[in-house]
Amino acid sequence: MKNTSNNPQRGQAIVLGASIGGLMVARALSNHFDSVTIIEKDKVERQPSTRKGQAHTRHLHGLLPGGLNAMLHYFPDLQDALAAHGANVCDFAKDMVWYTYGGYRQRFDMNLIGATMSRPLLEHLVRERVLATPNIELMDNTAVKSLIASDDQQRVKGVHIELAELGKSMDLHADLVVDVTGRGSRSAQWLRDLGFEAPETSEVKVNVSYATRVYKRDLNDPRSSNWMLYTPQAPQEMHFAGMFPIEGDRWIMTVGGWHGANAGNDEAAFMDFLRKLPMQEYYDIVSKSEPLSDIMTYKFPHSLRRHYEKLQRFPLGYLVLGDAVCSFNPTYGQGMTSASMQAIELDKMLGANIADEKLALTFFARIAKIIDIPWQMAVGEDFRYPATEGPKPAGVDFINKYISRVHRATLKDPVVCDAFLRVMSLLKAPTSLFHPKILWRVMWAG
């Protein structure tokens, strides 16, 4: 996959942030730039580990089939490497025990391959592959403080960085800088400092809480290779639970809810919560399994989208991508897939030699199309709860009524189930659920 661009090599690129989004975009840029430097404020271990800037990576993470496909585009051996490290690489439809809308979804063989593993393992395997690319380097323990601009402030020419270990600051120059610093991105302020408008934002308040615990997994239990999911029939049910097999013969179990509904974070409340779930597997397995961690909690107040696609002007030599553009309610598991798809889009655009002056606005328009789908799916579901606040997409109540019927139909009908899971996995557009072939089956099932 190296150097597929028709362009001469473009000099130096800098990527801010070494999480999944930053790693994927660095790999994409390595096809078009002489050298790519990733700058990460945390110290990065060359092994699976959680970093200070990434509290969320301690919690349940699944890699959707769409995300695995996107990663395999650059790292064809990733699926085998995941399996070799003990991750659970499995058929999304066949191996998932999923209770929703009052019943268990039947399990069908659909060859929809996704993965469950600890998030640090996935990131480590991606990072090792990215850093094995000859023209990519990582500067960790280094925080980006501000942008360096041309005298007329129209072009970003690099970044001002602070090296924690050496206790010194310096300037790094580049032909392209990409901000992948996540939800806390400071691009809006940096743009204002250069005299540009900051993007409008959409916030959808969901108040989702997570409580996560890791357990030893008994491989003799026939359920040990199933990933288990309980999703609520909203609005009457407000909780969710997921228990995924991960490397090291462990389970990672996350429970939580919307709008303040949570599982409690002490042992007794946690177990009581599991006992009351309609899916008995959780309590049954957990009560016989050795806990390997404390109960860790996480709060996600709102989904956040920054509408870069609406801007009319943008500095040359600068882009923003991943959670820095859109951070989705994590219960739908879409963030890594969306960021990876955005990185591939950038690779395609650089390969098509889009003029420098048009690059940013064209890029934001294209990734808006990628983001629209998971955003509408996530926000649409969230608006089933009356307590959800924020910009509500038009027609969402009508669509939700239909999707409720789809959910029910997926419990028994393999054709509807296949169509639904492909949409959920970000492999197909949601409009495919309105194809007459599906519509008829959904109505008939209802």
Ligand X SMILES: Cc1cc2nc3c(=O)[nH]c(=O)nc-3n(C[C@H](O)[C@H](O)[C@H](O)COP(=O)(O)OP(=O)(O)OC[C@H]3O[C@@H](n4cnc5c(N)ncnc54)[C@H](O)[C@@H]3O)c2cc1C
Residues in contact with ligand X by CB under 6 A are: 16-22, 39-42, 53-54, 56, 59, 61-62, 67, 143-144, 180-183, 210, 298, 300, 322-324, 330, 333-337, 339
CA separation for the pair 8, 10 (Å, rounded): 6
Minimal distance in Å, beta carbon 44 to ligand X? 8
Nearer to ligand X, 257 or 330 (CB): 330
Least distance (Å) from ligand X to the CB of residue 350? 19
Q: How many residues does the chain have?
A: 446
Residue 309 exposure: Cα atoms within 13 Å on the Cβ side: 15
CB 18 to ligand X: min, Å: 5
CB of 169 vs ligand X, minimal distance in Å: 13
Q: Which residue, 208, 108, 115, 204, is CA-closest to 420?
A: 108
Q: Which is nearer to ligand X, 59 or 213 (CB)?
A: 59
Rounded Cα distance between 102 and 408, Å, is 9
Residue 40 CB burial class (10 angstroms; 0-12, 13-18, ≥19): buried
CB of 358 to ligand X, least distance (A): 24
**Residue whose structure tokens are 């500067």:** 139
Quote the CA–CA distance of 142 and 254 in Å, as a whole number. Answer: 32
User: Of 324 and 371, which CB lies nearer to ligand X in the complex structure?
Assistant: 324
Nearer to ligand X, 42 or 95 (CB): 42
**DSSP code per residue over 289-329:** S-B-S--EEEEEEEEEEEEGGG-S---BTEEE-GGGTEE--
Q: Which lies closer to ligand X via its Cβ, residue 155 or residue 183?
A: 183
Cα–Cα distance, 53 to 17 (Å, whole number): 10
Tell me the one-letter amino acid at 94. K
317 vs 330 by CB, closer to ligand X: 330
Residue with smaller CB distance to ligand X, 19 or 79: 19
How near is the Cβ of 429 to ligand X at its closest, in Å? Answer: 19
Give how far Cα 356 sits from Cα of 66, 173, 330, Å. Answer: 30, 17, 34
In angstroms, give the least distance from the CB of 90 to ligand X: 15
Of 237, 296, 311, residue with least CA distance to 266? 296
Q: Which is nearer to ligand X, 262 or 438 (CB)?
A: 262
By beta carbon distance, the residue nearest ligand X is 335
Q: Shortest distance, CB of residue 394 to ligand X, whole angstroms?
A: 26
258 phi/psi in degrees, rounded to 5: -95, 150
DSSP conformation letters of 329-350: -GGG--HHHHHHHHHHHHHHHH
Q: How far is the CB of 325 from ligand X (least distance, A)?
A: 8
Nearer to ligand X, 284 or 345 (CB): 345
Distance of CA 445 to the CA centre of its chain: 32
| 263 contacts 272 by C-beta, under 8 angstroms | no
